[in-house]
Structure 1
């Protein structure tokens, strides 16, 4: 009897592990889309500028980008259970800090800690799934994790907008607390500790150079929001160039590099990773800037903004698993090109909104939200499949980290273009006889056309991938 009960219990246990990892994934994606939706509300409440508000998104993405691969490697040495517990503790505590924040800097600190906790959860989660499930069930388990990502993205705008309108923006962060507590309890109960006895040495020098280079690059692109000194930009530029040069040198010499540069010689890997940067640049440009269009031009409440804006992630949720399965049969290239094509088309539609009547502009807005959701949903899964399929088996783990890192670089670039570059253009146009709304619309249109250009570059990257992958 005991011999029968034990396997059943083990089977139940692994699905509880999957739920625990799913909660971690859901929390990270929820907080990403939720915060972007309520940025205009936070800006008014804390009396900040758009350039400052941009850092509430950038700090999250920057820490994620710098920390994902190092934490993944660290978990192989320290043990995944300990780090996963730490991730839930940091994330939950950071959500409480954000909820009680009444100044910009305390909220910025909370967002930074959210990113650190989220980096741990996202880095360790796939490794826990891989060691818990057999190869026959691993695809199903990873598919569930991807579904939780899209559910979080879908619910973020709706939940964030609704709660901010009813109770205030601070309460939107408290949503994460019960989920974080549940994840912490499940981790204590069902996840076993695991280390990789054959784990490769950590590339400390490469990671340090990459971190300095990414921080310098992000600060350089947003220098106007942190200092008015004329010395700041040349200094940051010099640090960025030196750090990247040293990083490439270290990676060529390292026996176990953080990012194996040889992978980029593989056609689908190199062009696929570059395409991911431009795809997420387009998506995060829209994710950051469209809520301001709702606020400044349409004068929408946060609830209405969240409701309408949820169109995009819902379409992504529907499209991604269907197209992912179809790409196994027809190849990734055609879907990657189609996805990027729709992203470019959506940005063109957004760029046209400033030149049309209010009724036509609203129709273009809805169609654009549909197209960006469809384009990103069609692009993501086939492109990921092509990248991972091109990487050698021994490099699958690091390839996954590289893909996540390049996605985050695209997110940082999209947020920067939507924040700092938009603010710069708006400041140049202000005082020229335009009303505040006219200045906003003109700047908004220019940024969307710039985004469409970068989307076209992403389309060319997809075009140069192999037809079958």
Structure 2
């Protein structure tokens, strides 16, 4: 039974708070990517080690998203949103004061746990508060906020890193999170929950957490022997998890949604593919522009801004368009355009003109923006109201596991061609070769995604 408590809810303020949260999380991640070379210098980290600054965050998010989605539905979506922001803010300060690579990675893990709760509740709150005919537009605005954060991050991250140091990124973000927490406490007097007295599926949760951790850790360290073992154990664990959840009376994850709801299943698969094929581009090209082209963090940021700026513009109208047009067609079109942008990036070399790089990033950004909002609308509109938290967590899980997979592919390729060495003038050719392997792999993924985006009939539930 759905319990709603929203006396005198100001939807404008609620929308502003959720958009601010969606703005800050990607802002943090993308800004840190630009600062990675400086972080590597101060904390003596290799290229593979630097990849874990992003992957530790994504791993923690992926592991906790599914259980947090269930808890958010049962306990209260606004409560989950509030306490997750508190944890995220604390972890951000922890990162700011980190004195070694180990403490920084620990802080990023804690940030990832907090972000998981935010991702699990944020979109569910938006869907709960707004009417069905408004949802595509509201989703589009929230997705736009993500891309505005991504747009500002490279330049802001570059300027702050050069002028105040990389730690300033975390201090400023922590202050912004504090404002969000105060806004939730004072302005959002509402709650949505689906209380469930059944016992929480702890066993299923633990199987999922260990399986995802093993799979992602192992994949990113291939082809080492122990990495192969971790990868195989992770895959086996996920198969056990699926079998266990199908039989459990109160599963932490409703696997039946994937088997009985084709639109839900393939829209989520498409989300995974799209993020897997695009996320690591910023990481790879941040290193390329600074190590190969010799740009400063600020200069690299001005080039990397091209992709997310277009994402923000396109996502705002593609979300609204998905209220009247079949979102599957829009998402598939976006995936195809993304594939074209990635194909252009496969020809990168030491001499590639900046204009060519910017043009390719613009194409990639247009495709991603065209895909994301309609895809999210497809997922959230395909389930009943009681599953909104779970659906929000699921699409966020696909996003973060896709990002994690993207970074794992990048780390694997870099490790194969560079080993554990730092990037320097003597191995730039090997680094560029690893980049090409990465981008070609991503292009193939996007081509597959064109077809998965089209599968499943359009379905509305009247949520």
TM-score (norm 1): 0.87
1:30-70 superposed Cα distances (whole Å, 9 cap, x missing partner): 11221222222212222111111111111111111121232
Tell me if 1:263 matches 2:261. Answer: no
1:138-190 superposed Cα distances (whole Å, 9 cap, x missing partner): 66655443332222222111211111111111111111122122122222223
Matched with 2:210 is 212
Query: Kindly tell me: are residues 330 and 168 of structure 1, through their superposed partners in 2, closer, same or farther at Cα, counting changes over 3 Å?
Result: same
Do the aligned partners of 2:140 and 2:319 also contact (CA within 8 Å) in 1? no
Matched with 2:121 is 124
> Which stretch shows the higher mean deviation, 132-141 or 246-255?
132-141
Matched with 1:150 is 147
What secondary structure does 1:353 align onto? coil
Do the aligned partners of 2:69 and 2:392 also contact (CA within 8 Å) in 1? no
Matched with 2:373 is 381
Task: Give 1:428 deviation, angstroms.
Answer: 11
What secondary structure does 2:92 align onto? helix
Query: Quick one: which of 443, 453, 460 aligns to 2:444?
Result: 453
Distance 1:395 1:218 in 2: 27
What secondary structure does 1:258 align onto? coil
Distance 2:92 2:384 in 1: 39
Structure 1 regions of 5+ residues with no counterpart? 1-8
Task: Give 1:339 deviation, angstroms.
Answer: 1.4
Query: Quick one: which of 333, 344, 349 aligns to 2:344?
Result: 349
Tell me if 1:318 matches 2:313. Answer: yes
Distance 2:15 2:270 in 1: 30
What secondary structure does 1:192 align onto? coil
Matched with 1:180 is 177
- Higher RCO structure, 1 or 2 (CA under 8 Å, sep 6+): 2
What secondary structure does 1:329 align onto? coil
Distance 2:234 2:216 in 1: 9
Distance 2:17 2:265 in 1: 33
Structure (1 or 2) with the larger CA radius of gyration: 1
Query: Quick one: which of 90, 111, 114 aligns to 1:114?
Result: 111
Distance 1:303 1:164 in 2: 8
1:423-447 superposed Cα distances (whole Å, 9 cap, x missing partner): 21334999xxx94222222221222
Do the aligned partners of 2:73 and 2:389 also contact (CA within 8 Å) in 1? no
Query: Quick one: which of 425, 430, 433 aligns to 1:442?
Result: 433
1:107-129 superposed Cα distances (whole Å, 9 cap, x missing partner): 11111111122222232334444
Structure 2 regions of 5+ residues with no counterpart? 1-6
Query: Quick one: which of 21, 30, 33 aligns to 1:33?
Result: 30
Aligned residues: 450
Residues 49-448 of structure 1 mapped to structure 2, 5 A cutoff: 49-80=46-77, 82-130=79-127, 141-192=138-189, 194=191, 196=193, 198-199=195-196, 201=198, 202-223=200-221, 230=225, 232-265=226-259, 266-354=261-349, 358=351, 360-392=352-384, 394-427=386-419, 435-448=426-439
Task: Give 1:131 deviation, angstroms.
Answer: 5.3
Distance 1:195 1:336 in 2: 29
Write 1 or 2 for the structure with the bigger share of helix.
1
Do the aligned partners of 1:353 and 1:361 also contact (CA within 8 Å) in 2? no
Distance 2:46 2:157 in 1: 20
Do the aligned partners of 2:65 and 2:116 also contact (CA within 8 Å) in 1? yes
Query: Quick one: which of 4, 18, 21 aligns to 1:21?
Result: 18
Query: Kindly tell me: are residues 133 and 429 of structure 1, through their superposed partners in 2, closer, same or farther at Cα, counting changes over 3 Å?
Result: closer
Do the aligned partners of 2:57 and 2:108 also contact (CA within 8 Å) in 1? yes
Distance 1:137 1:200 in 2: 32
1:364-384 superposed Cα distances (whole Å, 9 cap, x missing partner): 211111111011101112222
Distance 2:229 2:112 in 1: 27
Distance 1:280 1:309 in 2: 17
Do the aligned partners of 2:34 and 2:300 also contact (CA within 8 Å) in 1? yes
> Which stretch shows the higher mean deviation, 213-222 or 441-450?
441-450
